[in-house]
Amino acid sequence: MPGWRRPTWSVVADCTRSWNQAALGFVDALQAAYDLMASHPEAGHCGMHMSWDFLTCGAFR
């Protein structure tokens, strides 16, 4: 491919770092949503376990 350069290790490291930061941000958002549900008065009937149907419980119902 014209103009294509083989990626250097620093480019690979930068990409990996930004992917890691994105993944950590996603985990933080999930944890915040879980904490919100855990502190909600109706959260008891959700079984207090993290599952993908937690959006149908508590404050979102």
Handedness of CA 32, 33, 38, 41 (dihedral sign): positive
What is residue 57's predicted lDDT score, i.e. its pLDDT? 53
To the nearest 10°, the Cα dihedral for 17, 20, 25, 27?
Answer: -170
Query: pLDDT tens for residues 5-44?
Result: 776 878 888 888 888 888 888 988 988 888 887 776 665 5
- Cβ 46 vs Cβ 58: under 8 Å: yes
pLDDT in the model for residue 16: 86
Q: How far apart are CA 40 and CA 56, in angstroms?
A: 13
